[in-house]
Amino acid sequence: MKRRNFLVAAGAALVAGCNRIAETNAGKAVLDAADSWHKNAQRLLTSRDALAPEYPASAISPFFRGNGSTDPQNGDYPRHVEEGFANWRLEVTGLVANPLSLSLENIRKLPQRTQITRHDCVEGWSAIGQWTGPQLSVLLDAAELRDDARFVIFRCADNLNGGDYYESVDLIDAYHPQTIIAHSLNGQALPVRNGAPLRMRIERQLGYKHAKYLTGIEAVASLDDVGLGKGGYWEDHAGYQWYAGI
């Protein structure tokens, strides 16, 4: 554990350093090249379908902090909080033969997976939590993903510094067995600070990929026309790498 924590801290320091490197044009070109290398070649060299470590209940952090948006005040979100999320819907759209619109009850009735995993944020903190929800693969199969789909976009209810938060993964992470749509943390409905009522868990990647306040899942062929084209809020606005594997 100590060694892993050190590695996470070292990784966070490296990312902080990378943001400075990214400010120079040459540095940016190198990082972009590395990112597309990740997108294209990394899957050939390492096993992208390996499982992230899972932990015993005794390892669960007493408090799972919130980060980024922790209490969205935009749009319909405050009304949904007041209603106890009774009218929340999750839409599955895009390159699918059978679009879905699911209530929280629909989602709780699907086959469920529970996993205790460690969340690593690039800002240099980690927390262990137990997450429960259906695998994303179950929804994608029910929606009948079309052959031309290559990426899955996660749409979020919150607006962070004026931009809509969103994220995306390729189909390897979309179909990874630990990629779930979590409605519960440590056996309780998600707190607002952790993304109520639904948030993604993308266990092989860093924290910013785990979209909170999930309203939509959209299958696309390319990321170019989504947001500013880099595949996520932090990718678009701060040059974070799209593939944030850990």
Does residue 121 bind Mo ion (CB under 5 A)? yes
**CA 210 – CA 115 distance, rounded (Å):** 15
Query: Residue from 131, 154, 208, 234 that binds Mo ion (CB under 5 A)?
Result: 208
> Which of Mo ion, ligand MTE, none lies near 213, with the C-beta cut-off 5 to 8 A by kind?
ligand MTE
3-state SS assignment for residue 216: strand
Token output for 191: 């707190």
Least distance between ligand MTE and beta carbon 174 (Å):
17
- In eight-state DSSP terms, residue 87 is T
Least distance between Mo ion and beta carbon 169 (Å):
16
Least distance between ligand MTE and beta carbon 8 (Å):
12
Per DSSP, the residues of 116-170 read EEEEEETTTEEEEEEEEE-BHHHHHHHHTB-TT--EEEEEEEEEETTEEEEEEEE
Query: Residue from 195, 207, 216, 232 that binds Mo ion (CB under 5 A)?
Result: 207
User: Of 197 and 207, which has the nearer Cβ to Mo ion?
Assistant: 207
Token output for 246: 């850990």
Sorted by sequence, the CB contacts under 8 Å of residue 217 that are 6+ apart come out as 90, 91, 92, 93, 136, 139, 140, 152, 153, 154, 155
User: Of 68 and 239, which has the nearer Cβ to ligand MTE?
Assistant: 68
Least distance between Mo ion and beta carbon 71 (Å):
16
Per DSSP, the residues of 8-46 read HHHHHHHHHHHHHHHTSHHHHHHHHHHHHHIIIIIHHHS
**CA 152 – CA 83 distance, rounded (Å):** 29
Least distance between ligand MTE and beta carbon 152 (Å):
15
User: Of 118 and 176, which has the nearer Cβ to ligand MTE?
Assistant: 118
> Which of ligand MTE, Mo ion, none lies near 158, with the C-beta cut-off 5 to 8 A by kind?
ligand MTE
> Which of Mo ion, ligand MTE, none lies near 243, with the C-beta cut-off 5 to 8 A by kind?
none
Token output for 134: 């259906």
User: Of 85 and 234, which has the nearer Cβ to Mo ion?
Assistant: 234
Binding segment toward Mo ion, per CB under 5 A, in 22-30, 134-142, 202-210, 230-238: 202-210
* Phi-psi map region of 151: left, alpha, beta (phi>0 left; psi -120 to 50 alpha): beta
Least distance between Mo ion and beta carbon 210 (Å):
8
Residues that bind ligand MTE (CB under 6 A): 65-69, 121, 156, 158, 160, 165, 193-195, 207-208, 210-213
First and final C-alpha spacing in the chain = 15
Q: Binding residues for Mo ion, per CB under 5 A?
A: 121, 207-208
